[in-house]
Amino acid sequence: MTTPTDALLALAPLLQYPGDDAAAAARRALGALAAALPEAAAALEPFVVHVERASPDALEEAFTRTFDWSEDRSLDLGWHLYGDRYDRGAFLVQARAMRRAAGLEDDGELPDHLPSLLRVLPHLPGTHAVEFARDFLVPALARLRKGFEDGDNPWAAVVDAVRAAVAALAATAPATAPALATPTGDAR
């Protein structure tokens, strides 16, 4: 049975620069979501259809336009939580420590890069993954999603699927205090 963290692992490659296997990765992610998280699977379906029809060059161009040219759609979640405030540095330090503790190699991105964070979650001890999802990923993803309100973008479906999987994970959270101060108000 697919868990929310398994689903997030399957979704992480869809938020990286697309390669030749983009359609296969999208189908794998859809398969991982289908039984356990039908809401996330339904959200992802338009992206799968798009990726299967688009040329590799068109996918690469769309990915760059989507995530690299718009700070509202940045995959660096600390930006959505804290903007340029000092607290972002503490978040980056925490994310880097989590990645190291998980034994994951540096992927060349900032430690708050969404695909990196999705890969770290299954390695977090105890309920830490659930609390991190609830306290940090849920609000950051809500702000990221707002960056897609200006039109029809295929990666909005991926963000929606990630949000559904993170919400499923966060829903299992006990009511405890977070390790870092959670973001409040508008970060930017």
Domain locations along the chain: 4-170
Binned at pLDDT 50, 70 and 90, residue 127 comes out as: confident
Which pLDDT score is estimated for 187? Answer: 54
* Closest C-alpha among 85, 78, 94, 67 to residue 148: 67
Write the CA distances from 174 to 81, 129, 130, integer angstroms: 22, 11, 8
Mean pLDDT rounded to a whole number for the chain:
88
Residues 6+ apart with CB under 8 A from 52: 23, 26, 27
Which pLDDT score is estimated for 114? Answer: 95
pTM for this entry: 0.88
